[in-house]
Amino acid sequence: MALSTTRTTVSKFLKPLTTAVSTTRHLSTTNTLTIETSLPFTGHNIDPPSRTVETNPNELLTFFKDMAEMRRMEIAADSLYKAKLIRGFCHLYDGQEAVAIGMESAITKKDCIITAYRDHCIFLSRGGTLFECFSELMGRKDGCSKGKGGSMHFYKKDSGFYGGHGIVGAQVPLGIGLAFAQKYSKEDHVTFAMYGDGAANQGQLFEALNMAALWDLPAILVCENNHYGMGTAEWRAAKSPSYYKRGDYVPGLKVDGMDALAVKQACKFAKEHALKNGPIILEMDTYRYHGHSMSDPGSTYRTRDEISGVRQERDPIERIRKLILAHDIATEKELKDIEKEKRKIVDEAIAKAKESAMPDPSELFTNVYVKGFGVEACGADRKEVRATLP
C-alpha cells in the first residue's frame, strides 16, 4: 500500500514536470535560428545572396514532417505501381523533396508554379491532399484531375499550380505566359517554371526566355538538375552543364537543391529580383533515388554506390533531422514517431482512394469539345452514332 502511494505521489510530481518541458519546447518554436547553408551560392551576372538563413524550430519541424510525408507517398506509389494499381507513366520525386519544400516556404499561393511530369510532391506542397494524389494516380474520379490525368497531369489552379506536363520542356513557354499575365494584370507575384536538366537543351526554352527578358517578366526558371536526363548523364548531353549560366544575358544562381534552407533563401532572393528586374535562372543541384520512371530500374547508367553515397551524405530529410537534433527541438524518438504517423496517414489515404469510383464513361468527352455545338461521336466507319455530346 505504501509503495502504491509513493508511486502515485511520484506520478503526480512528474506529470506537471513533463508538461513544463513540453510547454518550454512549444514556446521556443518561434525563436529565430540563424543557420549557414551547406554550400555557398554561385552567381552568374549577379551577386549571390548570403549563406546565412533565418529559420525557427517550427519551420524546421514542418520541413521534416512535410518531406517525410512526401517520401512515404512516393515509396507507396512505387508499391502501387508494381501491384498494377497505378498504370501508365509514373515518375517519382524521392530525393528531390527539398526543392518543393524550400520553394514553397519562400512564396505564397498567389505565386504560380508549373512543372514537368515529376509533379506529385509539388502538388502536395501547394496544398493538395494525399487522397487526391492517390486517387489521381489510380485513375479515380476524386483525383485532382478527376482521374483523367494520372501521374503526369496533377493540377490545382486555386493554389497557383498549373500542372504537370508530359511534353519535355513544353511547360516553360506556358510558365512565361503566366508571368506575362501577372505583369499585364499588375500583380505583385511571380511564376516558377520548372524543368529538368534533360529539358535544358530545348529550343522552346530559349525562345521563351528571350521573350521574358525582353519584357522583364517576373519569371523564375528552375532547372532541377538531378544529373540524368532519363538514362543519359548530363555531361553526355550538354556541352555546358552549368545550367544557371545558360541564360547568357539573364542572371543565374546555382543552389544546393538538397538543402531546404538554401532553396528557401534562393527562391526568396529570386522572387525579389524577378519583381524588380525580370527573369532569373535557378539551377537546383539535386538527385533522384528512383529511376527516371517506374520502367527504369535506375541502376544501369549509375552505380548503387553512387546512390547510397548521396543518401548518406546529402539526403534532404537527414539534413533537417540533424539540425532538429542539434538544436534540441525534438528527440530522435519523437522524429521516429512522426515518420510512423506519416506512414499511417499515407496508408489511410490509399485505402480511401481505393474506394473512390472510376470516372463515368461520359467524362471521356468533357474538357475536349466546346459544349452546345451538338457534336456527335461516331464509330470508325462513321455510320453509327455512338454518343451526342451536350
Per-residue pLDDT tens over the stretch 95-104 = 999 999 999 9
The pLDDT mean for the chain works out to 91
Query: What does the pLDDT read at residue 30?
Result: 67
Q: 280-337 pLDDT, tens per residue? A: 999 999 999 999 999 999 999 999 999 999 999 999 999 999 999 999 999 999 999 9
Q: Looking at residue 29, what is its pLDDT?
A: 60
379 or 224: which carries more pLDDT confidence? 224
Dump pLDDT digits (tens) for 324-377.
999 999 999 999 999 999 999 999 999 999 999 999 988 887 877 676 666 677
- Determine the 3-state secondary structure of 289 from DSSP: coil
Question: What pLDDT band is residue 28 in, cutting at 50, 70 and 90?
Answer: low
Helix (H, G, I), strand (E, B) or coil at 54: strand
The model's pTM is 0.89
Range 71-89 average pLDDT: 97
DSSP of 90-137: ----TT-HHHHHHHHHTS-TTSEEE--S--HHHHHHTT--HHHHHHHH
193-252 per-position pLDDT tens digit = 999 999 999 999 999 999 999 999 999 999 999 999 999 999 999 999 999 999 999 999
- The mean pLDDT of 80-98, rounded to a whole number, is 97
- pLDDT tens string 146-180: 999 999 999 999 999 999 999 999 999 999 999 99
State how beta strands 42-44 and 252-256 pair. Answer: antiparallel
Instruction: Give the confidence band of 253 by pLDDT, cuts at 50, 70, 90.
Output: very high
CATH class assigned to 33-359: alpha beta
Domain residue ranges of the chain, discontinuous segments joined by +: 33-359, 360-389
SS3 assignment, position 359: coil
Residues 6+ apart with CB under 8 A from 302: 228, 233
